[in-house]
Amino acid sequence: MITSLNIKYSQKSDLLEMKQRFENHPPGKTLIQVFSGHVTKADVERLLHDLTEVFQGTPIIGTTTAGEIMDGLVEENTIVVNFSFFDSTTVRTTSVDCYDDLWVAGKILARNLKSAAPQTLILLGCGLKDGRTIDATLLLNALYEEFPQAVIAGAQAGDNGHGVISYVFTEDGIIDHGAVVASLSGQSLSAHNSYNLSWVPIGKKFTITKASGPRVYSIDNRSPLDLYNHYLGPEVVEGLPLAAADFPLVIERDGIPMAIHARGVNEDGSFDYIHSFHSGEQVQFGFCHSGLLAIAAKQIFDELRVHPAQVAFIYSCVSRKWILGQDIHVEITPISTLAPTAGFFAYGEYFTHPIGKCFFFSQTMTVLTLAELDEPEPLVYSHELKPFITKEESKQLKTLRVLHRLVETSANEIENMNNKLSEMAHEDCLTGLFNRRHFNRQFTAEFKRAQRSGEPLSLILIDVDAFKLYNDTYGHVKGDSCLRAVATVLKEIPQRPSDFVSRYGGEEFICILPNTSFEGAMLLAEKIRQDVIKLEIPHISSTVSTHLTVSIGVQTVEKITDQRTPEAIVMMCDEQLYAAKMNGRNRVCGNRVP
């Protein structure tokens, strides 16, 4: 059994009653969590001094916040202290104060906790670096790699929206550039988590056309600033980046929809986002409604009440609080009917998904429930439980879904019509390059022109290495994004009006370079190869590299004679591509003939 109690701390005496009440409870089976709306280091130091003095040897983890949650209520500028007393679960804490390499930081935390064999990890990370929100994906990946059976939950520290500095701490000290974690281990421990996004994609799809990590330079070949101004209007643009929280970019990764908002606007019109993007990925603007958030919270309730719960920890993005305003309680209150609740509003949330992956979310509410059970958890199916949502709320949800379907269907019809028009205009609808049919016509025309002029003609044939394995590993949606990313590199090739780039078929692309020497074609092919590597698209299944690569064949015919045909030149180029593959891939092989 877990006994969970919350208090508001203002002075040392507030802690003494709890100490007296649980004087004989083992410190190693106790976890103290602190959610502090007092965000200065001096406030945190005073609080931590009192806690460690009163509860000597007791594991503590804490964080500064952008709002606190206590027993179903939302608090501001308070300090909420949660005490969880376990009957049989063992608690350990550790920390890392090196945050420059998040993967290494995660491995350090994992190494410190390896002997504990944790079943649940509650992770609190510093949310800011250089005034901008940290993307904790690598930290979570490193932890999850070591503890794939554990439920990892928690969130990133806030500082009441100032965006300057945040703190996390354990009983051993305070950190402004790192993370702390509490490990929970015990055979009787039952842990479950759920999440609520509620933002739905709406309107047309856009393609990321140039990105470097979290910095996006162009979307649909226009700056993000221009795109936001065109579709969302000056009212949103004037309030960037904060105003973008209302209309985040929604992207699907690993089949999971995620909302990603801008965290910085640069002078060149590019945006810095809380997550990284790759060229070729597709996004839509997201839309949400306070009623939809409230209903979704009750849906989380229905998911979680299937499992026993003796305490619930809520980690919600601060942007949800900004958008809901006074109505924020409608998202929090249903959870408090399950079990005693505590938590905070954060700068990003951590979530272990049933698909077998740990995610860093933004603009999301996540909930972790814990219980200690004397017997195995009974099986209860959610469809056997009476829905918690009222008829009126169900009607509202239905109306919102119909509205979303109306807009989305209209956008899809327009997109399909544009795809058909693109095909008629010789364009490959996936990549935006010319299609194979148009290549055949164009190459025949260039072949005849070179035959008349006596000028050289070069071809470059590109193949994405191990693309079938990429699709098998990441799925076809990611595969499409991968091809679009390569296409963005190839779109930079044409230096003259006569240069021509096309999708040749599947994962192959082809370039026509009239009046181009063999040396010039080889230099350009090598640039393509290196630029694809610079995309830094992960490809863990490749036998060539940990990131996406291409193999390239180059063929130059210095003078077209009557004995040669367009088909023969393409075949010679394909032979060079085959040679590049046979010699280890991720390379350029070429040939020239008189």
C-beta separation of 316 from 345 below 8 A: yes
By C-alpha distance, which of 551, 548, 567, 560 is closest to 594?
A: 560
State the Cα–Cα distance between residues 507 and 478, nearest whole angstrom.
13
Map residue 548 onto helix, strand or coil.
coil
Tokens of 314: 């809520």
| Alpha carbon distance 347, 419 (integer Å) | 39
* Coil/strand/helix, residue 170: strand
Measured from the Cβ of residue 173, the count of other Cβ atoms closer than 10 Å reads 12
Q: What is the CA radius of gyration of the chain?
A: 28
Residue 156 structure tokens? 């990133």
User: If DSSP states are collapsed to H, E and C, what string results for 426-477?
Assistant: CECCCCCCECHHHHHHHHHHHHHHHHHHCCCEEEEEEEECCHHHHHHHHCHH
Q: Which amino acid is at 94?
A: T
What amino acid positions are annotated as catalytic residues?
507
CA-closest candidate to residue 65, choices 50, 51, 44: 44
- In 3D space, the residue among 138, 135, 133, 134 whose CA is nearest the CA of residue 107 turns out to be 138
Q: In angstroms, rounded to a whole number, what is the distance separating the alpha carbons of residues 556 and 404?
A: 53
List the structure tokens of 430: 């996936």
